[in-house]
A and B are shown apart, each in its own frame.
Chain A
């Protein structure tokens, strides 16, 4: 088998067109990766500067009413993961800045797509585009004639006659093309790692390894099937057209068809429906029978009883702060209910989509690529959740200060000092650990492993059926 692989490589290296193509690809991939890293780093620097500026503003707040500060608010910036320079996933369309303030959970804004020129709205040239679409195509073009040309020239008979077994021959030919794909892949990742050395932490090494594994498994599947078609079908044209058809179905049709099916099976409410339901629950109560005025009255009676006074004016605390916090907590429940539903739907959609990897390994590749690059929807949702948790802590601190800081009910002119604002910690996003990413992409990894085994079994079982005469 090694002899066949070495011979294939010797031939590949002498095909001038392929040599030029390889140089072109290496240059292209290096450039795209380098630009991706630069773009990432720039964005990261801008975010860090903005974050620093926002924090400085917060820390420089003079004495101020806490509720005023709640409206003044803060911002959470979604950090750029180092590997998103390879695959930016959903980042380009989801936005990366979230305004955090009292009473309301804002939507994340400033997506790259919304700020780009119309042409780049359709996706930037990132290494993932080349690695997922172009390189597999190149591998198909190299592999499609690998066995059919041997058949057409009659060389296959001589090879088998000399002692090469058909399954080994086919597998060796597939492996030699696969190594070429791996070579391009490793160059891309090596360039990314070298340029981005300072950001390469332990978690990223594991993520990079699994990224390589996922792409490696996909390339193996594509190449083995291309060589299989080459061995089983009558001629080069049939082999190429069949594999191209598979590629088109995998990359264009099935993801769209399955995506739409998933949307139909687990539909998300429209923006309007969602906002209306939130507004309604906020005013009428989650159960529809507990409007806000009634809730406030119940809270007032409870607090008056607790402090054994007959009016809010006699309370030693500021009842306004308690009301605001209660309203906040009620709002949080409403948010948890509706966003929780959306989160569940999104997770179900994601799981359903991942399952299509059983018949489409491209989906599994895309999912793992985004997942291990930290740029998939699940990472985005994790950021939103952490930002929301921080917002709750921030607003509670401000409301508590307003309630228990020393002011009386109705005193909106009372101010907390600068030391208090400084004491509130800044938002710090903690990326999900590698194990979480691994767990979230387990279905994809299993699907890719299934395809590797399936492709190998297909070759092993069908090779003996190839007619030499």
Chain B
């Protein structure tokens, strides 16, 4: 469902992504690990259609994201690192607005169901998001992606700044989405969370995918060692 084929991207002489190829299948959660500047966000931005690759292709459900960004975006649910909602609107109003922008008109009860499904407690639905914690805002962000009924999810550092409980809830939720058939690509430098959540892990360094493995093949400690070894080289 997600395919990155021999993709490269350079910014003013800086090679952000170099001949990257990877694929995420239906029901799979792929964790893209890498330090800051490794090329994770550039990869996501190419998949989101905000950047055009210099070489290669980025495809979502077979749609080229660089030539047909509008169409490919309809297939994607995107959760940024910081979900900044409109503070003067409630959670349900924020969800309603973002859904309407995507051309989805849901009833109040359907919107509430999406929020509940994404782990936001019912009493919070009608509170202004200025009172929300980062975890709560992240859940609304996931609900925005979920309500799009997307089959592909792209997450940029989704657990950053979340407390352990909220972070765990996020993992549970992503697994649920994968069980429903979604393909999820999660960019992160949180080794533990990636190990807990993903089926497959890729390590990105200087824009190059230097290691790819199944999560079941490594323990958390082994993964940490592998990651640190690659990063120190």
A residues sitting closer than 8 Å to B (CB atoms) are 3-4, 7, 10-11, 14-15, 153-155, 157-159, 161-164, 468-469
- Some 23 contacts from A to B, beta carbons below 8 A apart, are A3-B97, A7-B86, A7-B89, A11-B86, A14-B88, A14-B89, A154-B81, A155-B85, A157-B48, A157-B50, A157-B80, A158-B83, A158-B98, A158-B144, A159-B98, A161-B73, A161-B76, A161-B78, A162-B98, A163-B70, A163-B102, A469-B45, A469-B51
With both beta carbons as reference points, the residue of chain A lying nearest to B88 in the complex is identified as A14
Give bound CA distance, A46 to B154, whole Å. Answer: 76
B78 pairs with A10, CB closer than 8 A: no
Answer whether residue B126 sits at the interface, using C-beta atoms and an 8 A cutoff: no
A3 pairs with B80, CB closer than 8 A: no
A155 pairs with B84, CB closer than 8 A: yes
**Chain B min CB distance to A18 (Å):** 10
Give bound CA distance, A158 to B70, whole Å. Answer: 13
Q: Is the interface of B mostly helix, strand, loop or mixed?
A: loop
Q: Please, what's the 1-or-0 string for B99-110, where 1 marks a CB less than 8 Å from any CB in chain A?
A: 011110000000
With both beta carbons as reference points, the residue of chain A lying nearest to B99 in the complex is identified as A162
Give bound CA distance, A10 to B86, whole Å. Answer: 11
Additional A-B contacts beyond A7-B86, A14-B88, A161-B48 (8; CB < 8 A): A7-B89, A154-B84, A155-B84, A155-B85, A158-B80, A158-B98, A163-B101, A163-B102
**Chain A min CB distance to B128 (Å):** 8
Q: Is the interface of A mostly helix, strand, loop or mixed?
A: helix
Contacts of B74 in A (CB 8 A): 163
The residue from B84, B97, B103 contacting A153, defined by CB atoms under 8 A apart: B84
B101 pairs with A164, CB closer than 8 A: yes
- Beyond A158-B78, A469-B45, A469-B51, is A11–B89 a contact (Cβ under 8 Å)? yes
**Chain B min CB distance to A12 (Å):** 9
With both beta carbons as reference points, the residue of chain A lying nearest to B85 in the complex is identified as A155
With both beta carbons as reference points, the residue of chain B lying nearest to A152 in the complex is identified as B84
A154 pairs with B97, CB closer than 8 A: no
Answer whether residue B82 sits at the interface, using C-beta atoms and an 8 A cutoff: yes
- Beyond A10-B93, A14-B88, A158-B98, is A163–B73 a contact (Cβ under 8 Å)? yes
Residues of chain B at interface, number, CB under 8 A: 27
**Chain B min CB distance to A441 (Å):** 41
**Chain B min CB distance to A170 (Å):** 14
Give bound CA distance, A14 to B80, whole Å. Answer: 26
**Chain B min CB distance to A209 (Å):** 35
Contacts of A158 in B (CB 8 A): 78, 80, 83-84, 98, 144
**Chain B min CB distance to A373 (Å):** 38
Give bound CA distance, A153 to B130, whole Å. Answer: 14
Contacts of B102 in A (CB 8 A): 162-163
Q: Please, what's the 1-or-0 string for B45-72, where 1 marks a CB less than 8 Å from any CB in chain A?
A: 1001011000000000000000000100
- Beyond A10-B89, A157-B50, A469-B50, is A3–B101 a contact (Cβ under 8 Å)? yes
Interface centre among B48, B74, B89, B100 (most CB of A within 10 A): B100
**Chain A min CB distance to B118 (Å):** 16
With both beta carbons as reference points, the residue of chain B lying nearest to A156 in the complex is identified as B84
Contacts of B98 in A (CB 8 A): 158-159, 162
Interface centre among A11, A14, A163 (most CB of B within 10 A): A163
Give bound CA distance, A468 to B44, whole Å. Answer: 13
Contacts of A468 in B (CB 8 A): 50
Give bound CA distance, A162 to B74, whole Å. Answer: 8
**Chain A min CB distance to B96 (Å):** 9
The residue from B48, B76, B78, B88 contacting A11, defined by CB atoms under 8 A apart: B88
